[in-house]
Amino acid sequence: MKSIYIRPTNFVFGQKANYFIQEGTAKSLCGFDDVGFLSVEILKRESDTNIVEEYSVIELGTLNFRNEIESDLNKIISKRNGIFNLNFKNPILVGVLNLTPDSFSDGGKYNTTFRAIDHVKNMIDYGAHIIDVGGESTRPGAKPVSDHDEIARVSETIQLIKKKYPNQLISLDTRKSKVMQHGISIGVDMLNDVSALDFDQQSYQIVKDSGKPIILNHSQGIPENMQNNPFYANVLLDIFDYFENKIKFLKNNGITDEQIIIDPGIGFGKTLDHNLEIISKISLFHSLGYPIMVGPSRKSFIGKIMGEKDNSQRLGGTIASVLYSYLQGIQLFRVHDIQETSEALKVYSQFLKK
């Protein structure tokens, strides 16, 4: 467990960022010349308390604990490894395709092949870079399905997407090694595991042998019980420590930096306050040195804030969460509403460049 953590803050974009980076009053984020940060928060675990201090980037070299943060600072400013032909200078949209009868938002809506392919076409037309296909609901309280049933739900649709859109990237949302293996055999490009390879001990070997990128999603517990009073000493730092330990294990066992994407797991074993804390300070995870995905789309924390439990009415809250994350340099966004999210990001990014 670390004692000191560093979080970039006060982000600048466009020509302003380039100017401040050149002047030395800002540091580059992820190797970009048009995204920078002017200051950092230093977070410290000390016994039962957590201390937060803020410094400008100019002050970093004068700190008496600068050696303790140097490695993490280098990770924040270093260029991220590319994924296929995707360019992290622009937001990457991951479109949700649930081929399930019971997903929390759109269960049953696209679990026929015709409706699924029609929805995929719309998402691609509106700007989805990756289609994330899932055959098992992992909403709170969901019951697991068998490997056979999960494969049966996704197999035909994945093959049709590959046939109809051969250049389209497909991610398979599963926590089971046999489902992963089948998906890879029919052309899946990436894997997205809500358990970060913890649920099925064989899944890590599939990722290692295939060389496929893996989205490591943090969760506490399993869907059946993950919302039963989730607890963290400090949700941000505990998740950071989890990822740091997980990544160290994976790298020591043959998985490469180029394969790893992290997702702090909004809604997976988190309360409303936990989710708000993660999104409001999500830039902490840049100091792990990997691309970051966030998936706030239509999640229940939005409904709790709005006093509206119907997930179809959570678009505004979803977009607000995406934009706030984008303002902190997050690169990937997993959402249901591709058109609206794409339009919001395009407009918002133009403001930031001025």
Residues with a known catalytic role:
299, 334
198: how many CB neighbours lie within 10 A of its CB?
Answer: 17
Quote the DSSP letter at residue 313: G
- Using the structure block, give the residue that is written with the tokens 């950071």: 240
**β-strands 27-28, 35-46: how paired?**
antiparallel
Q: How far apart are CA 197 and CA 354, in angstroms?
A: 42
Q: Which of 194, 211, 205, 203 has the alpha carbon at shortest distance from 81?
A: 211
- At 59, list the tokens: 């002050």
107: how many CB neighbours lie within 10 A of its CB?
Answer: 16
If you compute the radius of gyration of the chain from its CA atoms, what whole number of angstroms results? 20
Please give the single-letter amino acid code of residue 339. Answer: Q
- At 136, list the tokens: 């098992």
Task: Give SS3 for 63.
Answer: coil
